[in-house]
Amino acid sequence: MNKRNRKQRRDNMYEAILTLETLDECKRFFDDLCTVTELQAMEQRYQVAVYLSEGMIYNDILDKTGASSATISRVNRSLQYGADGYEIAFKRLRAAGKLDGGADEAGE
């Protein structure tokens, strides 16, 4: 598949995500889109990002999430040098009072 087709396929998926209106719709979409393992990995990386953004140290994050040091490092690189996607989401969640770093890796 050429680059143009891959970009269009990716854009189509993100456009579909943007049509979702509720938390339940989003959960249902991702449950259909991803395997349980893929969802768990994304949820873990997200929680690692939350903890890193709050200044938590690697060892504490490892203990709280079970993430490997490689995963924590990779997420940290994204926070430091990435496309600022995490920061956009975190800023909006903080403004809405919905950023909870105290939740465990299962979101409980």
Domain ranges of the chain: 1-33, 35-108
Whether the model pTM is above 0.75: yes
Q: Is the per-residue pLDDT at 106 higher than 50? A: no
Owner of token pair 């990002």: 49
Residue 49, helix vs strand vs coil: helix
What CATH fold (topology level) applies to the domain 35-108? Answer: Trp Operon Repressor; Chain A (1.10.1270)
Please enumerate in sequence order all residues whose Cβ is within 8 A of that of 86, keeping only pairs 6 or more positions apart, or say none: 49, 53, 78, 79
Q: Are the beta carbons of 95 and 72 closer than 8 angstroms?
A: no
Listed residue (89, 4, 8) closest to 42, CA to CA? 89
Higher pLDDT among residues 40 and 5, named by residue? 40
Please write the tens of the pLDDT for every residue from 50-85.
999 999 999 999 999 999 999 999 999 999 999 999
5 against 72, higher pLDDT: 72
Structure tokens at 107: 């979101």
Average pLDDT of every residue of the chain: 92
